[in-house]
Amino acid sequence: MGAAGAIREDRLWQRHADMAKLGGTPKGGVNRQALSAEDAAARNLLGSWARARGFAVSTDAIGNLFVRREGSDPKALPVLSGSHMDSQPTGGRFDGMYGVLAAFEALEALEDAGVKTRRPVVAVAWTNEEGSRFQPGAMGSAVFAGHYDLDEMLQAKDWKGAVLKDALAETLKAAPALMLDGRPGFPLDGYVEAHIEQGPRLENERKTIGVVTAIQGSRRYIVTTHGEEAHAGTTPRAARKDAFAAALRIAQAMYEATTDKDDTLRFTIGRVDVAPGSPNTVPGRTVFTIDMRHPEDAVLEAHEKKLKEIVAAKAAPCSAGIERVTAVPPTIFDPMVVDLVRAKTNELTLSNMDMPSGAGHDAMHIAHLCPTGMIFVPCERGISHNEIENATPQDLAAGARVLVEVLVELANR
Ligand code: HGY
Ligand code: MN
Ligand code: MN
């Protein structure tokens, strides 16, 4: 296998180390949030590597970054591979970045091995997959797929009130690239995303490659409670409209309502903002986020109803509302791509297992446009969204070898 043989473990590992310096944190993780200066620096670094290899670098109106290696048939629809470079505030150096660097390593291996493909092969870094600074997440791929409206996303605000449109303009100014005209999105023939598993299964079962079959459904909400600011010393409990106490009642009831016996439903309150945030003022307003996931949409639908009932029942004497921010149904990957990932993995004699993804990925949107699949590699103790996230150079390179062989097959079909 020419292309797989040209994948270089040392080069791929070094690129991760170079990228990890951008937004690097004391514990060895990264804080490279979407459309931050660190994100711009990562875009520039990838762009400089790409230009050095003669690949075309372009971006679209939501900031998705594309690195294109031409094929022999300029009219053929491209095959894409990539992930995201933005991270959680206390993120790891592999989540997302591995998919972008494995795709770039595949382009380099094709060059080094002199492997021609009929279709262009394009490495992509999707904008704002994490959705921790600006909601919703997987924004760049969702706009590209036509699932979210570009103008609406440009008006998104981060927790400090910064508008996405302005942050994007600053990022594209700091990391210039040829702007593709018109609304984001172009026809493509296939998409494959490599990613660390972000769970313990591959490591526990001693497998090198995860042949990803599906992604579970996910929904995000914002709950706001409104009370009345009052003096902490003089206001009797009976007279209070404590917005945090209301949020607590609602949250507690939600945790109970989403505790299923087989521990399949995922319910997370990741962020709580209490206003005015003064120790001696009774909170007048509380905002908290909900992230809820399950392999079956009907279960999410049923629990959404319960969440709404709880908000109505537990708010008094405050008022409260729940707003759904996103609802992404479960994704089933194209069997042709899943079988191809498994076949190439077996040809490379790498241990593997079929598995669904608990984490969300850009592939959940792109799967609506073309045959799509994913390749997982293990991460240490399955830890992710944590600065101690870790993987091995050998596993990262193994995933890149499978990726490049799958891309060759798709780009020549
Ligand atoms: O939240 C997720 O599943 C992804 O890691 N952003
Ligand atoms: Mn990710
Ligand atoms: Mn993530």
Q: Give the pLDDT confidence of 368-400 residue by residue, as tens digits.
A: 999 999 999 999 999 999 999 999 999 999 999
Q: Decide which of 3.20.20.450, 3.30.70.360, 3.40.366.10, 1.10.10.60 is the CATH code for 217-328.
A: 3.30.70.360
- Pick the atom of ligand 1 nearest to 358's CA: 3
Tell me which amino acid residue 292 is.
M
Phi and psi at 61, nearest 5°, equal: -70, -5
Question: What's the fold here for domain 4-215+330-411?
Answer: Aminopeptidase (3.40.630)
pLDDT in tens, 76-128: 999 999 999 999 999 999 999 999 999 999 999 999 999 999 999 999 999 99
Count the neighbouring beta carbons within 10 Å of the beta carbon of residue 355. Answer: 20
214 CA distance to ligand 1 middle (Å): 14
297 CA distance to ligand 2 middle (Å): 21
- Does residue 86 line the site of ligand 1, with CB under 6 A? no
Q: What average pLDDT score do residues 264-287 get?
A: 98
- Does residue 359 line the site of ligand 1, with CB under 6 A? yes
- Does residue 190 line the site of ligand 1, with CB under 6 A? no
pLDDT in tens, 142-174: 999 999 999 999 999 999 999 999 999 999 999
- Does residue 193 line the site of ligand 1, with CB under 6 A? no
- Does residue 137 line the site of ligand 1, with CB under 6 A? yes
Ligand that lies nearest to the alpha carbon of residue 135, given by its number in the listed order: 1
Pairing of strands 209-215, 331-332: antiparallel
**pLDDT value for 81:** 99
Residue-range domain boundaries for the chain: 4-215+330-411, 217-328
Does residue 395 contact residue 208 with C-beta atoms inside 8 Å? yes
Q: What is the DSSP letter of 382?
A: G
Does residue 204 contact residue 94 with C-beta atoms inside 8 Å? no
How far apart, in whole angstroms, are the C-alpha atoms of residue 396 and residue 377? Answer: 7
**pLDDT value for 197:** 98
Q: What average pLDDT score do residues 305-333 get?
A: 98
88 CA distance to ligand 1 middle (Å): 9
**pLDDT value for 46:** 98
Q: What is the mean pLDDT of the chain?
A: 98
